[in-house]
Amino acid sequence: MNCSELEQKILLASSGELQDEELESLQSHLAQCAQCKAYHDSIDALLIAADGSLPTGEPSAEAISRIKEAAAPRQKRVVVFPRLWVHALAYAAAVVVLISGWLMLPRDDGGRGDRISEINTIVAMMSEENVFSTNIKEGEGGNEARLRALANTLLEIQGFTESQTLDEEWLDQLTEPSPTALLEHNTLSPLWKGYV
């Protein structure tokens, strides 16, 4: 192989791409050939000189800034507030539907006793007070007593005091309530009087 053919191997050697065996062979030749040795030395010298003299510079701060901006992931807007309200409304609607459906279910005994329990449940949900603590427990005193307690609770919610309790006569009226009867008994809520 002549010196012209060896130039490409010298270039590959300068970039570290020559195989070990070929590199060894080349180095043996360079030790003996001044022309190839001069070519080998000039390659390194030129590359070193060029690295120091070719135009060099830095990208602008604006370019760097735009690159950083493009690299940052876009933050997704997470809207929490509406989603919470949607969930809350959905749950509330489900509860109302369940209760309504439950109330509409037929009862064997006319459902009076169960209805009282159901109304108690609804009242408990509406009232801030724990009405179950004052209610007569199921089976204790029968449905009539429970109905009395429930009615008292409803009256309390309407603003009546504990002294204005229901008596037996009033309770009987509840089975066939009429606004006139309630008005005569003077237990009709003041708030309702305007509607009679």
> How near is the Cβ of 39 to another protein at its closest, in Å?
8
> How near is the Cβ of 58 to another protein at its closest, in Å?
6
Q: What would the 3-class secondary structure string for the chain be?
A: CCHHHHHHHHHHHHCCCCCHHHHHHHHHHHCCCHHHHHHHHHHHHHHHHHHHHCCCCCCCHHHHHHHHHHHCCCCCCCCCHHHHHHHHHHHHHHHHHHHHHHHHCCCCCCCHHHHHHHHHHHHHHHCCCCHHHCCCCCCCCHHHHHHHHHHHHHHHHHCCCCCCCCCHHHHHHHHCCCHHHHHHCCCCCHHHHCCC
Stretch that binds another protein, among 12-20, 144-152, 153-161, 182-190 (CB under 8 A): 12-20
> How near is the Cβ of 64 to another protein at its closest, in Å?
7
Answer for the pair 161, 153: CB distance below 8 angstroms, yes or no.
no
Stretch that binds another protein, among 46-54, 127-135, 140-148, 174-182 (CB under 8 A): 46-54
Of 66 and 107, which CB lies nearer to another protein in the complex structure? Answer: 66
Considering only residues 60, 100, 163, 175, which one is a binding residue for another protein as defined by CB under 8 A?
A: 60
Considering only residues 12, 103, 157, 171, which one is a binding residue for another protein as defined by CB under 8 A?
A: 12
Considering only residues 3, 33, 43, 188, which one is a binding residue for another protein as defined by CB under 8 A?
A: 43
Position 1 contacts another protein (CB under 8 A):
no
Interface residues toward another protein, by CB under 8 A: 7-8, 11-12, 15-17, 42-43, 45-47, 49-60, 62-64, 66-68, 70-73
